[in-house]
Amino acid sequence: MISRRRLIHYGALSAVLLAPSLAFAAKDPVYNSRGIAIQGYDPVAYFTDQQPRKGHRDYEVPHMGATFRFASAENKALFEANPDKYAPQYGGYCAWAVSHGYTASINPHAWTIDNDKLYLNYSLSVRAQWDADRANRIKLGDQNWPAVLDR
């Protein structure tokens, strides 16, 4: 029979051994902060206004486990009609990071539309690096996505 003390020891040891595997559990398919995608920015506005615009709680759509917000009812309707057109590539994770085989957060002001697809980056300086070799970065990102979610 195992003593209570030894049982507690084994329980604690199991928790320590399992913790690293939990830390590397699969990431959400859409990068979000408290369930909100693109830090609350409207994905459609990047296409229609050619600039980031903050979305409103009044215009929200759940998509792939995250909530997207929109600046207007019209933008919300456009997204609902064709979310694949407007949702950011690589789940809204930093495109440069995904092209290098990992994920990173984004700055909604570090964005690019290429071939009618929205790409987001960690920062303006990272976007500049990504832009310098964009075609290759997109090719690598496409190869790495969505496997990077499991890393």
Alpha carbon dihedral 46, 52, 54, 55, in 10-degree steps, equals 10
Q: Which residue has the tokens 């830090």?
A: 39
The predicted pLDDT at position 49 comes to 98
The predicted pLDDT at position 9 comes to 42
pLDDT digits (tens, 9 = 90+) for 16-58: 444 444 445 689 999 999 999 999 999 999 999 999 999 999 9
The predicted pLDDT at position 13 comes to 40
pLDDT digits (tens, 9 = 90+) for 66-89: 999 999 999 999 999 999 999 999
How far is the C-alpha of 63 from the C-alpha of 36, rounded, in Å?
Answer: 10
- Checking if the pLDDT of 14 tops 80, the result is no
pTM, to two decimals? 0.83
The 8-class DSSP code of residue 148 comes to G
